[in-house]
Each structure stands twice: as structure tokens, then as C-alpha cells.
Amino acid sequence: MLTEVERGTAIRLSFAEDACGAKRPAHHRNRQIDPWSVLGGAATLVAHGDDEWVAIAVIAGARVRFLSAGRFGAPGDDVARLRRIVAEDVARVRYRDPFDGTDADIEETVTLLGDWRRALDSNRRIVAACGFSWWKRREIARFLWTPQHPMRFFRSEARALSFAARHDGGVAIWPSRVSDSMAASAAEKNVPLVRVEDGFVRSVGLGSNLVPPASVTVDRRGIHYDPTRPSDLEDVIAGGDFSPALLVRAARLRETIVAAGISKYGNGAAHAFPTRQAGRRLVLVPGQVEDDMSVRFGGGGLSSNLDLLRRVRVLESESEIWFRPHPDVDAGHRKGAVPDSDALVHADRIVRGGGMASLLDKVDAVHVLTSLTGFEALLRQRDVTCHGVPFYAGWGLTRDLAKVPDRRGRRLTLDELIAAVLIVYPRYLDPVTELPCTPEVLIRRFGDGAAHNRLGWVTKLRQAQGRLVRRWA
């Protein structure tokens, strides 16, 4: 978006004419206007030849009427000449990667700007947000930013819906922190709800320790962890046309994640895991937060970590089984603790500490309810058995014991699943520049230690609180 000052003039005559000939000011002094929103095939731009809007108009297919000759054309130039002038000008420009300052080619630059454009367009109608904790609002405001209006956060569901209804917009919600009745209230007011959740490569540190997210998902149809209804992720997976270039990118991304030892919460500290028993298949059972929404919606009626362990022991009677308690539960923040003595009735070992990625490197198979660990195991080409219905079940890559919705009939390759889940569906925020970024940039930040927690002092207090809760329990 270009302001008068940024375009180098105090006042410039530039009008867009619609198809009926009515003139609309393309911009005003000290006001930002998105040129792409007013320049289309039916518009005519009236401008001087040095005006950068001319280049956009030519690319967009709009007509141009010149007031004077300049860098981008002159009165009397035909369309073919204007296109050639603009193409040559664009090719002469040097482009720079905003994340590391290195030179970038025009294709990379256009791809990045296209990603930003799609996010902005998607955010335009989101005018309010509700259910977001104070410690993550700064990041959420960046994920949902649009130049048309600032993001308004509300604690009250009723006020958020009323504000959105007055402004003919939608409300972004964090599903676990709003009431079950909010959807019905939104429908009555004809206010769309947009569900926001943590992404699949989230941060260096736990969300329960108040570490803000560096990745989120934004879903207008449902949410990825709820198999009872369609979601944007399901649409991407079931109907996506995965180009060869996207699949190559997905394969490289998988290789990078595996080589760097990245999981949802970064790459973890070095850790000495137990020695596995020789000659036995090693199965990992990751514990979950038992009242987590993915368990409530996708657990198929099973919610107990202990019951999951019992099932796995029946199915894997000859295998060595390791049980890993969920870190949020072990930290004393969430429900789902299993006494070690009870877990060891069915598991051979309880493993704590270290990163999930390095643990998955040691096992042969994983049994999950709905845990993201199953997807991370697929990245490492481990056998995955799903007792519930996580988002990655039902696509031909997992052993599924629960009933999977008929919507998931498509058979995918691993690279197709990765493309949908890690590239197309989520959004990422660079912790260094605080700009929207690609998953490759965020994973590079994790790998080189540049990702940081801006609320480190709050995290320490939260960890101390967890220790007190565990001692009290």
C-alpha cells in the first residue's frame, strides 16, 4: 500500500474510473489505499507517467490515460508497449529477502507477497476477537492484521458479537475459551466465527507455560481437531491440487524438520533416553491432556491415558512399550496424570524429558488417541496406529481403529499430507522480524537458536506455579 509521501509527491492526480464512467479518487492525502482493490479490468487509471500505480494498472489489466510522459509510459503508448516497459522495469529492480537480507529473485519475492496478499484478503472481514489470553494477543493481532481496521479484542462474547454485527464482520475465537452457546448466538446475529488454534510447529516452549505461538491455524468452516464437521484443512487435503513444485517443497521441508530434530515445541534439549530391549518392537504411547478439545471431539469416546495404555498392551502384547506423559500434564497445568505405578502395569518404561523428535527417532511405532505425535511420527516414516480420529487419520497413511468420516476417502502420499498440513493450512510468524513467514523460515529460526520467548519472565512464574501444583497434588 502506498501513501502520498511514500510515492514521493505532496498531491498527485490519480483517479480510477469505473465501467459507468464515474470517477473515484484512487487515494487521498495521508490515507492508505490498496491499489489492487480499485484497479481491475473495468477501471481506467488517470495518472502521470512516473506514477507507480501505472505499473500496477498495467499488470492488473486496467486502462491507463496519461497526463504526462514518465518512467512507466507516455500518452499514445499502446498496451503492448506498456507491458514491455513495466516488465523491463520490474526485472531491473533488486529484491531482498526480508528475513535474512540476502538477494532474492523476483519469483521468490512475488510468491512471498502473494502469501501476504492472501492472508490480508482473508483477514479483511475479521473485525473482533474473543477468547484470547492476554499473553498471546500481540501475536494474534499480527496473524490477523489488515490495514482496513485494527483488531479489537473482547472478553465479553456478547460485546464481540454486537461489535461485529454493527461492522458487518466476523469474530475470531480461541475455541476452548468461549462458551458452547457462542456459535448459536453468532448464527442468530449472522456473524461468522473464525476459529484460531495453535499451529503444528508452534514455538520454543509450551503454550501452557505462556509461550506465545509462532504459528496458528485459521479455519472458517470448523477446526482441524473436530472430525464431526468439515474444516478448511479437510477441504485442502481432500480437494487440493498439489503441484509438483509444492510436493518437492514438502519433501524438502520434511527432510529439514527431521534432520534438525524439530517438533511442535522446537528442537528440545539433548537427552539420554533408556536403551531399548534387543529384538523387540518398540512402541511409543504419548499421553494427552484428557479434557483437550481434540480428545473431546475426536477421541471416539476414549479419553483416559490409562485406558489407552491398556488397549495398546492388548494389541502389542509382544512389544516393548514406552509411555510418555504429556508435558502440560507433567508440568501441573492440565488434567490427565497417570500414577507411574498404574502406567507400569501396561508399559515397560515411562520416559520423560528430551525432545519428542529425538524420542521418535528411537521407536518403531506409535499408538495415539489424537496426539500430534502421530503426525510427527509419520514425518519420520514410523508406523502409526490411531485409536481416535486426528486430522491425519483416514487418508491411507495410518492404521485407523476408530470410525473415520466418509469425507476422508482420498488416499494421499506423505508429501501431499505434509504440503496441506505444514505449508498451505497454517500461518507462521517470524520471531525475529515479526513478519508473516514461511514454515522454512520459522524452522530455520528454531535451528539457529534465533527464536525467542518475549515473555520469558512470565514463563518462569508459570513454571513455578506448576511445581507448586504438583507438590500440592
SS3 state of residue 366: strand
How confident is the model at residue 473, as a pLDDT? 58
| Domain membership flag for residue 134 | no
pLDDT in tens, 300-325: 999 999 999 999 999 999 999 999 99
How confident is the model at residue 457, as a pLDDT? 39
CA dihedral 405, 407, 408, 412 (to 10 degrees): 180
The CATH number of the domain holding residue 421 is: 3.40.50
Cβ 219 vs Cβ 233: under 8 Å: yes
Mean pLDDT of 176-200: 96
Give 99's contacts (C-beta < 8 A, 6+ positions apart).
Answer: 430, 432, 433, 435, 437, 441
How confident is the model at residue 203, as a pLDDT? 58
Contacts 24+ apart (CB under 8 A), 6-11: 7/51, 7/52
Mean pLDDT of 180-201: 96
Number of domains in the chain: 2
| Domain membership flag for residue 438 | no
Q: Looking at residue 205, what DSSP letter applies?
A: S
Query: Pick from 93, 109, 131: which residue ends a domain?
Result: 93
Query: Pick from 397, 412, 431: which residue ends a domain?
Result: 431
Grid coordinates of 435: 513478519
Strands, sheet with 215-219, edge to edge from the N-terminal-most edge strand? 152-154, 126-130, 170-173, 193-198, 215-219, 426-429, 436-437
pLDDT over 90 at 458, yes or no: no
Residue 460 confidence class, pLDDT cut points 50, 70, 90? low
How confident is the model at residue 9, as a pLDDT? 34
| Domain membership flag for residue 245 | no
| Domain membership flag for residue 324 | yes
| Domain membership flag for residue 205 | no
How confident is the model at residue 470, as a pLDDT? 55
How confident is the model at residue 378, as a pLDDT? 98
| Domain membership flag for residue 164 | no
- Which residues in 77-110 are b (16+ Cβ under 10 Å) and which e? beeeebeebbeeeeeeeebeeebeeeebeeeebe
| Domain membership flag for residue 155 | no
pLDDT over 50 at 26, yes or no: no
pTM of the model: 0.84
Residue 287's domain comprises 261-431
| Domain membership flag for residue 42 | yes
What percentage of the chain has pLDDT greater than the value 70?
A: 85
Nearest to 294 by CA among 217, 363, 382: 217
pLDDT in tens, 320-355: 999 999 988 887 878 889 999 999 999 999 999 888
Question: Which is more confident, 458 or 159?
Answer: 159
**What does the mean pLDDT of the chain come to?**
87
pLDDT over 90 at 20, yes or no: no
Mean pLDDT of 72-85: 96
How confident is the model at residue 133, as a pLDDT? 92
Query: Pick from 93, 109, 139: which residue ends a domain?
Result: 93
